[in-house]
Amino acid sequence: MMPGIETETSLLRDLASIVGPPHVITEEAERRYFSSDFFYWDGAGTAAIVVSPGSAEEVQAIIRMLAGSGREIAIRGGGMSTGRSYVPQGNAAILLDMQRLNRIREINPKDRYLVAETGCTWQQIVDALSAHEMVCDFTIPGSGSVATVGGAMAHNVTGGMKGVLGIEAVRANGDMIRTGSWAREAAPAPYWRDYGPDLTGLFLGDTGAFGIKTAISLHISPAPEASGFASFAFSSEPDLILTMLALSNCDYLSMRSGFDPALTRIVIEVQTGTPAPLTSGWTLHLRCDQLNEAAAQAGILRARNICLRRGYELPQSIAAGLGAQRLSVRGCLSRAGDRWIATNAVFPLSRAAEATEKLREFLNAHEAEFIAHDVKIASFVTANPYHFQLEPLFWWSDKVSELALRHIDSGEAEKFRLIPEKPANRVFITHMRHEVRDLFQDLGAVHVHTSKFFRYAELLCPGTRRLLQDIKQTLDPENMLNPGNLGLKGVSS
Ligand SMILES: Cc1cc2nc3c(=O)[nH]c(=O)nc-3n(C[C@H](O)[C@H](O)[C@H](O)COP(=O)(O)OP(=O)(O)OC[C@H]3O[C@@H](n4cnc5c(N)ncnc54)[C@H](O)[C@@H]3O)c2cc1C
């Protein structure tokens, strides 16, 4: 139910008194823009108010003010996600746009950490650290030109969260908390995570359901002095998968991305701006970061020997181009402006071949429907020392979202704005994405991101599910923060 007009007017006045009038948005098109992610969500809400706090204290003041109001609070970073995790459930939601919390508070090369507010983009972090010839120990999302530090903390990333040393967050009761060595009352310094229970971990991957992260500390390292690259092609998918598994012990590799023929073409076209020279073949792209050139090349040589058992070598410029790729969200559209949606699954390494085969069987069984809807399929695979990740991507022509249009070159945006809506494609893609998710979950997969779409709670064993519910109940008894996330209460996917 929408709150009364009088209440709404005083709420707007109070919010404006905290963040300043320009940072409270009520205009409908803007509210819709902030409330939409990269996918379609039938029945999703549009926030009633978008408010952009500029400091942790302002976040605290907003939360304290909203306590007891019964209002849903949706938390948005860069907005680059695809799983309905900040998209409001209802139309009365207050959406917190975190992008104004964008200060890097400290770079401490001596104690090896960086403290950044959570609205910083990853590009800001990379740029700030490069001045010190340092990097963070974290697999930065490819969307990091727009995606924020807070979004990755709340969502997890494929490479794992070990590089995170501590978190500063505002709880639903307005308390400001810090974790790890940063939690000390006197002389707090965010240099060590493993001080007491891992309270940092509690807030990682919570999709914002447990608290609003306002700053984080990341471990930093000297930038690698040399990188080696290599690309290979394989005549079949099993050959690519077997090679990736054979490489899974090569812990020194810093990139190992496998593409099916379609993704190879799309990636190269978007990356180079020209049609891809390759027309067939599954491809694998490696990078090895090391202390010096000889070590980087030794790593590549060892991997090359494994790859050449089943594949043949391509120009290393392809992997070098991918490895050096600037953070960009241009990849959310093909060169022609087709939309894209990925559905991610994580398996143990031993199940890589089976999972890939089952996905291929599924896609083949639906081939006629995909052709009828002119949907192209491209797949991404990667195997690291911990797990195998499988990510089919659907590409199709449909009205390009405002979210994508605002983050690409304006000339292209003008052109892509003319692409018409295809309602039948929308229904088909939505159905197929759910089918692929269910296939993965039936096969026992877990996922990198645990948004509303991935139904996290219902897949847990009863004891763990109860623990999750108890934690939510303790941290957010009024269920204000991103309600429905983690599959908790009122889930709809
Ligand atoms: C082109 C493209 C490439 C991508 N590449 C990758 C990739 O390489 N790796 C990868 O893992 N993902 C990738 N993604 C998915 C997505 O961009 C990442 O998950 C990213 O980390 C989301 O960050 P964001 O700031 O945009 O978060 P949002 O989309 O704004 O939010 C994501 C979640 O975080 C929560 N949240 C955001 N900020 C806070 C905060 N301060 N406190 C509490 N909760 C918060 C939101 O409520 C939501 O649940 C890609 C997406 C696109 C479009």
The amino acid sitting at 4 is G
> Does ligand 1 lie within 6 Å of residue 118's CB atom?
yes
Number of folded domains that form the chain: 4
How far, in Å, is the centroid of ligand 1 from the Cα of 20?
A: 26
Residues 291 and 430 in one domain: yes
Query: Ligand 1, from 60, 62, 149, 155: best to mutate by most atoms within 8 Å of Cβ?
Result: 155
Residues 144 and 112 in one domain: yes
> Does ligand 1 lie within 6 Å of residue 157's CB atom?
yes
Residues 299 and 424 in one domain: yes
φ and ψ of 434, to 5 deg = -65, -40
Domain enclosing residue 472, as ranges:
455-493
3-class SS of residue 143: coil
Residues 437 and 481 in one domain: no
Q: Which of 69, 100, 131 is the last residue of a domain?
A: 100
Residue among 303, 287, 291, 289 nearest 249 (CA): 303
Residues 69 and 130 in one domain: no
Q: How far is residue 37's CA from residue 128's CA, in Å, rounded to a whole number?
A: 28
Q: How far is residue 123's CA from residue 192's CA, in Å, rounded to a whole number?
A: 24
Query: Ligand 1, from 80, 339, 403, 456: best to mutate by most atoms within 8 Å of Cβ?
Result: 80
State the DSSP code for 375: -
Q: Which residue has the tokens 């030109």?
A: 145
Residues 368 and 303 in one domain: yes
Would you say residue 294 lies in a domain? Answer: yes
CATH value at residue 110: 3.30.465.10
Would you say residue 374 lies in a domain? Answer: yes
> Does ligand 1 lie within 6 Å of residue 482's CB atom?
yes
The predicted pLDDT at position 475 comes to 97
How far, in Å, is the centroid of ligand 1 from the Cα of 343?
A: 14
How far, in Å, is the centroid of ligand 1 from the Cα of 151?
A: 4
How far, in Å, is the centroid of ligand 1 from the Cα of 409?
A: 21
Q: How far is residue 77's CA from residue 397's CA, in Å, rounded to a whole number?
A: 27
Residues 282 and 161 in one domain: no
CATH value at residue 14: 3.30.43.10
Query: Ligand 1, from 75, 149, 214, 326: best to mutate by most atoms within 8 Å of Cβ?
Result: 75
Q: How far is residue 288's CA from residue 212's CA, in Å, rounded to a whole number?
A: 36
> Does ligand 1 lie within 6 Å of residue 79's CB atom?
yes
The amino acid sitting at 14 is D
How far, in Å, is the centroid of ligand 1 from the Cα of 119?
A: 11
Question: End-to-end CA distance of the chain, in Å?
Answer: 21
The predicted pLDDT at position 492 comes to 38
Residues 306 and 356 in one domain: yes
3-class SS of residue 121: strand
3-class SS of residue 428: helix
> Does ligand 1 lie within 6 Å of residue 142's CB atom?
yes
Q: How far is residue 180's CA from residue 196's CA, in Å, rounded to a whole number?
A: 7
Residues 25 and 128 in one domain: no
Would you say residue 430 lies in a domain? Answer: yes
Q: Which residue has the tokens 């992260």?
A: 213
Would you say residue 490 lies in a domain? Answer: yes
Residues 145 and 282 in one domain: no
| Per-residue pLDDT tens digits for 87-99 | 999 999 999 999 9
The predicted pLDDT at position 193 comes to 98
Burial annotation 124-157 (CB, 10 A radius, 16+ → b, else e)? bbbebbeeeebbbebbbbbbbbbbbbbbbbbbbb
Q: How far is residue 493's CA from residue 482's CA, in Å, rounded to a whole number?
A: 14
For 405, the token pair is 């249009």
Would you say residue 447 lies in a domain? Answer: no
Would you say residue 449 lies in a domain? Answer: no
Residues 332 and 436 in one domain: yes
Would you say residue 338 lies in a domain? Answer: yes
Is 415 within 8 Å of 45 (Cβ atoms)? no
> Does ligand 1 lie within 6 Å of residue 80's CB atom?
yes
The predicted pLDDT at position 6 comes to 66
Q: How far is residue 100's CA from residue 221's CA, in Å, rounded to a whole number?
A: 27
The predicted pLDDT at position 5 comes to 63
Q: How far is residue 343's CA from residue 448's CA, in Å, rounded to a whole number?
A: 10
The predicted pLDDT at position 1 comes to 43
Residues 6+ apart with CB under 8 A from 258: 240, 241, 244, 282, 283, 284, 285, 380, 381, 382, 383
| Per-residue pLDDT tens digits for 37-78 | 999 998 899 999 999 999 999 999 999 999 999 999 999 999
Segments of the chain scoring below 70 in pLDDT: 1-6, 270-280, 325, 489-493
The predicted pLDDT at position 271 comes to 65
Q: Which of 184, 204, 222 is the last residue of a domain?
A: 222
Would you say residue 125 lies in a domain? Answer: yes
